[in-house]
A and B are shown apart, each in its own frame.
Chain A
Amino acid sequence: MEKLEKSILKNIYFIVMLLFLILSLYRGSFEIVPFVYGTLSVILIAYGYFVIKKYYPRVDKYLYIISVFIVEFGLVMLYRLDFQRALKQLIWFAIGIMLFIFILILFPDIKRLQKYSMFFAIFNLVLLTMPLLLGREIKGSKNWIQVGSLSFQPSELAKIFMIFYLSDVIRKIKDYKDVLKYSIPIVLSIAIFVLEKDLGSALMFFGMFMAMLYVGTSRLRYILSGLVLFVLGGFFSYVVFDHVKRRINIWLNPWKDKYGAGYQICQSLIAIASGGLFGTGLAGGHPEVIPEVHTDFIFSAIAEEFGLLGAIALLILYLLLIYRMLRTALYAKEDYSRLVAVGIASMFAFQVFVIVGGVTKMIPLTGITLPFVSYGGSSMIINFLAIGILQKISEVGNEDA
């Protein structure tokens, strides 16, 4: 096992260094900075792996390996797009890994959190309402709060709290009345997201809730009722909220207003189409012309320069990561941890689906980050927090093994 892990890691190092070497050379002369940057990122990965292997040999190291490989995808792309942001992202990456190690060291067994579920629900709502009161609108969504020069997206942390809350209450559900009672916090959260114009998070929360509800209760009826309510709610929002209507109309025909409202999505589609099967090659395309390319549209940039094959590879990495997460759920010791793992896996799955589907015009575009890849501190830290929690679960789960 350890041999396989090491050989995979070596290959990842090799690929990453190769990509940064391209970034060093593509301007015609050798630049040392990308090479140093790449080396630093590889050292971070190696350090994280070293700590896990040494002190926590029982945890599922593939969760870590796949995650950091996905992070490297993002670092390479960000470096190529915007050096300043790439530098910050590397710092966030380092903080993420530290946090991840701290969780392994300091966090109690996950099941001890079960009794605080009400606290999680309340804190989740507090976090989500904060931007409505204090926040300011960034990129058309009012889901940020700013402290000094740091802006922070509370919805990122809120989703972890929501998972902890749901993992506890879902097991108590006996009938429809219980569903209604326990889903109040999540329905409120989704409503707040719609008000904040953060439809991507609303979609993700809903998907996550449905997945957990199904796994926890085995009742397809609940899911079907949920879907019906979702469709009704969606229709209602379409009629009432202009910003929802606008999104849907852009999705239906972005080319009609390709220099105006449809500009982002059209540029994203053009970028993906320009990539073709093999892509233009790293630094060979022009993804920098896509608006918001470093956050919401980073997948389009990857599809342009790494091509269809690169995009599929990234999606398969995500699928492997989600598989590994659900596998952790399978091997967990008790149901609470199991549901937490399911929640985190669903969160990742729906988040990837919503944003990749959005930038490819498969579904309406709603701004949301691509986990581990998009630029942004809140997102990076919360994702590593999530991986840390899963590692913790896998550590307990593998105790006998």
Chain B
Amino acid sequence: MHDEKLIKNIKALIIFFTLIFLTIIGYLIYFNLYLSENIVKDPSNPRIRLSEEDVIRGSIMDRNGKTIAFSKKVKNNQVRIYNDGEVFAHVVGYNSPVYGKTGIELLYNDALQGNTFYYNILGSIFRKFVQTIEGEKRGSDVILTLDYELQKKAYRLLKDNKGALVVLNPKTGEILALVSKPSFDPEKVDKNFKVYKNDEMGNPFLNRAIQGYYPPGSTFKIVTLSAALENFNGIENKSFLCTGKLKIGDYILKDFNSEAHGRINLKKAFSKSCNFTFGSLGIELGYNNLLKEAEKFMFNKEINLEDLKLGKCQFNIEDKENKALLAQAAIGQHGVATNPLHMALVAATIANDGIMMKPYLVKEIKDEYGVVLYEKEPEILKRVIDKEIAKKVKEYMKDVVDKGTGVRAKLYNVDIAGKTGTAQLPNTDKTHAWFVGFAPLKDPKIAFAIIVEEGGTGGKKAAEIAKEIVKECLK
């Protein structure tokens, strides 16, 4: 037989097999580069759960180090324990092997599990070393900006009402309290998930503070006021004649109880929350100016936050030429919708001389030995309005609490600035009560927004809650 050919064929076979193996290697590389990322995340991957069982999950704490959530071993099983679970539920979220994770438990899962991307090189090496010796792994702790006591107080103040409350530091954006009611117990999610899920009236899983979608009512007049101060010179000296009913074509925009305020200036109109004045200001400003101002305050804009998933807030009228709709928009009724955190940001912007700080919830991440792996620096989200305008709006807002609609929030030892809102709901007589503001006036420490669903007028329940919040914060 032809020996030479055989030799040649064997050499060809060597090349053929080499190509086959290179194909496999090429495919493996392709698999690793392009397919593996999604495959690892598939819920059928048991490693996600297994790796969590190996590591004692880190704790979640308030700004002063008070524990909100922690894990401990009970007979080889890890149990997650939540202190005042219902109070912190919407911020902290739940951690269920069946229903997954939400809130901080979800967003900071990597840190809590210790397989974190926040590296402190020396600290990490040290930690790995000690863990290897001890044979027990523990995740990192997440320290929130929340104030345990304030949060608890806020939760209690909302009583059995549906509603939400946000308190933040206007100078840094730290969220000090964020409550939504009704709430749920994160420890009982496994047991009660269906009950919570099916409660369509209360909808306890909904975080109203950030995912709620409410008309801002008269609290939106802060925006209209800034627009007027920016656009019209000498507007503060002008006077308006309020008849209690503003006729626009066939439509009549009424003041609360059709009360006529008579001849008033801008400051008094704001203080008394005069719909007549602000409705006509809206028409005078025109759609574009009002839209521009609203968008400065982040209406229609997406606010991307690391720690929270903020719902949308909009300013949008279907018919831009329609003056009746424009007047309603100017008083926060028609085509305007927002959430309490966003309204707290609006108040905080005024408090912080026109600069909107980026709100955040996670202050620090520390490993179990107290080595700081991550520390949040305050960030400016946006420069919204001039300092001068902000200063004027501050004065106006002080007047609201001193002698206007927000007088129930008044405290004798602290100057509080605020704005009430009474958001009308379509097809009912019921109204949502709003109160937004900040304190103290001179050197604001807190800004806040409160909404009580079906809570009547903003000057009552909401303002009273605001007063208690300020008392708690500044005591």
Contact = CB atoms under 8 A, between A and B. Distances in A.
Interface of A: 27-29, 171, 211, 214-216, 218, 255, 258-259, 263, 266-267, 269-270, 272-274, 276-277, 285-286, 289, 303, 308, 311-312, 315-316, 318-319, 322-323, 326, 329-330, 335, 338, 342, 345-346, 349, 352-353, 356-357, 360, 362
B25 A315 contact: yes
Contacts of A330: 7, 10-11
B8 to A, nearest CB: 8
Contacts of B201: none
A43 to B, nearest CB: 30
Which A-B residue pairs are the 4 nearest by beta carbons? A273-B36, A28-B135, A273-B39, A215-B9
Contacts of B133: 28
Given A218-B5, A273-B35, A326-B13, A259 B51 contact: no
Contacts of B31: 272-273, 360
Contacts of B18: 319, 323
B28 interface: yes
B232 interface: no
Given A215-B9, A270-B42, A338-B6, A286 B135 contact: no
Contact of B13 (A258, A319, A342, A352): A342
Given A215-B13, A286-B51, A330-B10, A269 B39 contact: yes
B17 interface: yes
Contacts of B25: 312, 315-316
B13 A346 contact: yes
A273 B38 CA distance: 9
Contacts of B2: 218
Main secondary structure of the interface of A (DSSP, over half): helix
A276 B51 CA distance: 16
Given A267-B46, A273-B39, 14 more contacts: A211-B16, A216-B9, A270-B42, A276-B36, A286-B51, A312-B25, A318-B21, A323-B14, A338-B6, A353-B21, A353-B24, A356-B24, A357-B24, A357-B27
A49 to B, nearest CB: 26
A319 B21 contact: yes
B200 interface: no
Contacts, number: 121
Contacts of B35: 269, 273
A308 B44 contact: no
A27 B6 CA distance: 55
B50 A289 contact: yes
Contacts of A357: 24, 27
B301 interface: no
Most chain A CB within a 10 A radius of its CB, from B1, B17, B37, B44: B17
A346 B12 CA distance: 13
A330 B18 CA distance: 16
B79 interface: no
B371 interface: no
7 contacts: A171-B1, A214-B9, A258-B44, A267-B44, A323-B17, A346-B13, A353-B24
A335 B32 contact: no
A215 B134 CA distance: 60
A206 to B, nearest CB: 14
Given A270-B45, A319-B21, A322-B17, A277 B32 contact: yes
A353 B24 CA distance: 8
Contacts of B27: 357, 360, 362
A211 B40 CA distance: 38
A315 B19 CA distance: 12
B160 interface: no
Contact of A362 (B24, B29, B37): B24
A397 B335 CA distance: 91
B252 interface: no
A319 B1 contact: no
Contacts of A303: 28
B40 A270 contact: yes
A330 to B, nearest CB: 6
Interface of B: 1-3, 5-11, 13-14, 16-18, 20-21, 24-25, 27-29, 31-32, 35-37, 39-40, 42, 44-47, 50-51, 132-135
Contacts of B10: 215, 326, 329-330, 338, 342
Contact of B6 (A216, A269, A274, A349): A216
A340 to B, nearest CB: 12
Given A270-B42, A329-B10, A286 B32 contact: no
Nearest to B22: A319
B47 A270 contact: yes
A73 B427 CA distance: 74
A349 B17 contact: yes
A393 B233 CA distance: 103
Contacts of A255: 42
Nearest to B18: A319
Contact of A274 (B5, B17, B20, B40): B40
Contacts of A218: 2, 5-6, 8-9
Nearest to B133: A28
A258 B3 contact: no
Contacts of B36: 272-274, 276
Contact of A353 (B6, B20, B37, B39): B20
Q: Max chain B CB contacts within 10 Å: which of A273, A277, A362?
A: A273
Given A273-B35, A335-B3, A311 B28 contact: yes
A28 B10 CA distance: 51
Nearest to B36: A273
A215 to B, nearest CB: 4
A29 B135 CA distance: 9
A24 to B, nearest CB: 14
Nearest to A357: B24
Contacts of B40: 270, 273-274
Contacts of B28: 272, 303, 308, 311-312, 315, 360
Contacts of A274: 36, 40, 45, 47
A28 B135 CA distance: 5
B24 A335 contact: no
Contacts of B51: 286
A357 B20 CA distance: 10
A323 B15 CA distance: 9
B383 to A, nearest CB: 43
A266 B45 CA distance: 9
A373 B31 CA distance: 23
A353 B29 CA distance: 16
A172 B11 CA distance: 22
A332 to B, nearest CB: 10
Given A312-B25, A346-B13, A362-B27, A259 B32 contact: no
A270 B50 contact: no
A211 B13 contact: yes
Contacts of A323: 14, 17-18
A41 to B, nearest CB: 26
B275 to A, nearest CB: 58
A353 B17 CA distance: 10
A335 B35 CA distance: 46
B350 to A, nearest CB: 49
A298 B14 CA distance: 26
Contacts of B8: 218
